[in-house]
């Protein structure tokens, strides 16, 4: 049942990718996002589970049928981003993906503020990071773990004003930097894939993307630490009311995604270091996806040929 459910998730992200890819480069981010959300809602309804969306595209969760949990109908929490990096699709950029993660009830942290400071590495640098340390200290420790020089490391950082001081420090440390216009989630996934060319992802980005990255890292290995980031006094007050504690409290993987039966799927809309984007071909399209299960530790890369010019026949 769990294996089947993990593979069912690919149908959800594939549908969103196919729907939103039609809008690539057309300059309409809202239309691309709307198409992706509609596709997710339509396919997610057919998946046999008692699911609730706890983070991400809440409107898709409102359309899920109410099912009574049973042996064959697992009760799960869902985190979904039908289109991660809407601007990348609108302008034909890289790193746009459709993403979904499932876990047991209570399996995901639901942060009350939209941004968090993060550091992400693969399994070969697990245990070598400390978000409280300086960028130089972290890069030296990561390089030691990977048995290379700091100058060999490639560090991905979202190109935002809030991250400029971090960019300056990484440059002084001597590491190579890949500035991301959008899509730090795709980069975080790549950091956990050996040979992807991404060694570490750091900086302030979305909390939703952080939770999805944590879910994937629980499945494929790797390490991540985060701290919630307050933009203003409203964010600070929200954290105080929630009982979260200090905003600079360090959140590790077991706090970000504490579930022990996590599943994750992503399909490329535009190309990234981990999955290729949708390619339309005569009579159909080709999608590239990744599917992961924490319990088995499997990571599957799936290429699917979709036929639009024929209807399936059942006998």
- 310/32: higher pLDDT: 32
pLDDT in tens, 133-171: 999 999 999 999 999 999 999 999 999 999 999 999 999
Q: How many helices (H) and strands (E) does the chain have?
A: 10, 13
SS3 19: helix
Question: Please, which pLDDT band fits residue 132 given cuts at 50, 70 and 90?
Answer: very high
Average pLDDT over residues 2-20: 88
> Rounded CA gap, 121 and 198, in Å?
9
User: How far apart are the C-alpha atoms of 101 and 90, rounded to whole Å?
Assistant: 24
Mean pLDDT of the chain: 91
- Alpha-carbon distance of 48 to 93, in angstroms, equals 35
* pLDDT (mean) for 225-234: 90
Q: CB under 8 Å to 152, separation ≥6 — which residues?
A: 143, 176
pTM metric for this prediction? 0.92
pLDDT at 3: 58
| Closest alpha carbon to 302 in 96, 1, 8 | 8
Q: What is the pLDDT of residue 234?
A: 85
The DSSP symbol for 233 reads: H
| pLDDT at position 268 over 90 | yes
CATH 3.40.190.90 assigned to 115-256: yes
Higher pLDDT, 309 or 118: 118
Six-digit token pair at 20? 């939103």
Q: State the average pLDDT over residues 115-126.
A: 95
Q: Does the fold of domain 115-256 match that of domain 2-105+261-307? A: no
Show me where the domains of the chain are located: 2-105+261-307, 115-256
| CATH 3.30.540.10 holds for 2-105+261-307 | yes
CA dist 165 and 251 (Å) reads 22
- Report pLDDT for 314: 46
A 10 A CB-CB count for 241 gives 9
Structure tokens at 137: 């200290």
């Amino acid at each position: 049942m769990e294996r089947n459910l993990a593979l069912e998730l690919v149908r959800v992200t594939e549908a969103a990718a196919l729907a939103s890819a039609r809008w690539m480069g057309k300059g309409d981010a809202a239309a691309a996002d709307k198409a992706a959300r509609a596709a997710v809602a339509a396919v997610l309804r057919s998946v046999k589970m008692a699911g609730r969306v706890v983070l991400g595209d809440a409107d898709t969760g409102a359309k899920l049928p109410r099912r009574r949990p049973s042996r064959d109908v697992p009760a799960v929490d869902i985190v979904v981003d039908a289109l991660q990096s809407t601007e990348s699709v609108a302008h034909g950029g890289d790193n746009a993906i459709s993403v979904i993660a499932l876990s047991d009830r209570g399996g995901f942290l639901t942060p009350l503020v939209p941004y968090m400071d993060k550091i992400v590495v693969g399994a070969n640098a697990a245990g070598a990071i400390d978000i409280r340390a300086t960028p130089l200290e972290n890069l030296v420790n990561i390089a030691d773990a990977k048995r290379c020089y700091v100058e060999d490391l490639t560090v991905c950082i979202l190109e935002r004003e809030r991250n400029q001081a971090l960019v300056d420090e990484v440059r002084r440390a001597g590491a190579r930097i890949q500035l991301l216009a959008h899509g730090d989630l795709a980069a975080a996934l790549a950091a956990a894939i050996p040979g992807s060319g991404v060694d570490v992802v750091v900086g302030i980005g979305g909390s939703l993307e952080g939770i999805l990255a944590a879910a994937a890292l629980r499945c494929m290995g790797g390490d991540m630490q985060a701290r919630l980031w307050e933009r203003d006094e409203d964010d600070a007050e929200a954290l105080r009311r929630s009982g979260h504690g200090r905003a600079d409290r360090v959140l590790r993987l077991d706090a970000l995604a504490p579930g022990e039966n996590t599943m994750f799927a992503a399909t490329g809309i535009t190309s990234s270091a981990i999955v290729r984007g949708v390619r339309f071909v005569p009579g159909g399209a080709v999608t590239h996806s990744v599917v992961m299960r924490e319990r088995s530790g499997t990571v599957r890369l799936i290429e699917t040929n979709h036929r639009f010019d024929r209807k399936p026949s059942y006998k």
